[in-house]
Structure 1
């Protein structure tokens, strides 16, 4: 049976696209590899002794690591819809730190839809993507905008 992919008209503001993804625990190795990939060797992420003198008292993961892991969890939980592709992000926040041993999950909700300013064949749909830790604290929030094919182009 062929999968029916959604078009712009099929998405509604408030739709829960993913209630809760699988989970992933952040390890010390994740933090070291992220430092190597990004080139960000700031002591907040890599110097436990220095961090003991700081407000969180331990190393914290890069915000972008939380974002990347959350994105991966969302992709693993999603069907590949050829009618939708990333247009970019309008907002990205890290309200709580992630420390080694934290376990992250993600959820996705449709928060906005609007006509594309130039293309009558597509609309712009925005997902609110929330990554939380095992305590239910939001560790990453992103507004992901998608270029979404219309079933019926506008006149």
Structure 2
């Protein structure tokens, strides 16, 4: 991880970056269940899952969100900060052994109502090893204007 100073004016619509892959393990799911208290059988009970449509345990959506966002955190930008995430959707299940990668594309750049800042929207897409889209959301950033105006 490195520091990369990037002001609002330096973001370009359509620019994208894609992470390396990360394989989801049973340990990931068990640890996440312990951290969140979400021990639903969809995640924890292999035998019960055999009776369900997916036939196997699925990763928590919040686990996939957390890992995906971590995959995008490759640089520290002191000129921008996160305002949160919008339109989060879990499209397809992620199973133990699936490998996910995350693609971020700049889809919006507009001046913000807060003087001296612009709003940047990064569209986040998460794909599994078959290039199937499994999760999407929009990351909202506020970035300082280089001019400071």
Q: Which bin holds the TM-score, normalised by the shorter protein?
A: over 0.9
- CA 1:43–1:6 in structure 2 vs 1: closer, same or farther (change >3 Å)? same
Secondary structure of the corresponding residue to residue 68 of structure 1: helix
Correspondence for 1:101: 97
Alpha-carbon distance, 1:5 to partner: 2.1
Instruction: Identify the match of residue 21 of structure 2 among 10, 23, 29.
Output: 23
- 1:127 is aligned to 2:128: no
- 1:59 is aligned to 2:68: no
- CA 1:126–1:99 in structure 2 vs 1: closer, same or farther (change >3 Å)? same
Q: TM-score, normalised by structure 2?
A: 0.93
Instruction: Identify the match of residue 80 of structure 2 among 61, 80, 84.
Output: 84
Secondary structure of the corresponding residue to residue 49 of structure 1: helix
Q: 1:49-106: per-residue Cα shift (whole Å, max 9, x none)?
A: 111111111110001111111111111xx22111111011111111010000001111
Q: 1:123-149: per-residue Cα shift (whole Å, max 9, x none)?
A: 110001111110101111110000111
Residues of 1 paired with 2:22 and 2:13: CA distance? 28
- 1:70 is aligned to 2:65: no
Residues of 2 paired with 1:114 and 1:89: CA distance? 17
Alpha-carbon distance, 1:11 to partner: 1.0
Q: 1:5-56: per-residue Cα shift (whole Å, max 9, x none)?
A: 221011122111x1x2111110001000000001101110011111111111
Q: Number of paired residues? A: 147
Correspondence for 1:113: 109
Secondary structure of the corresponding residue to residue 35 of structure 2: helix
Structure 1 portions without partners, runs of 5+: none
Q: TM-score, normalised by structure 1?
A: 0.90
Secondary structure of the corresponding residue to residue 76 of structure 2: coil
Structure 2 portions without partners, runs of 5+: none
Q: Spell out structure 1 runs of 4+ moving beyond 4 A.
A: none
- What is the CA RMSD across the aligned residues, in angstroms? 1.3
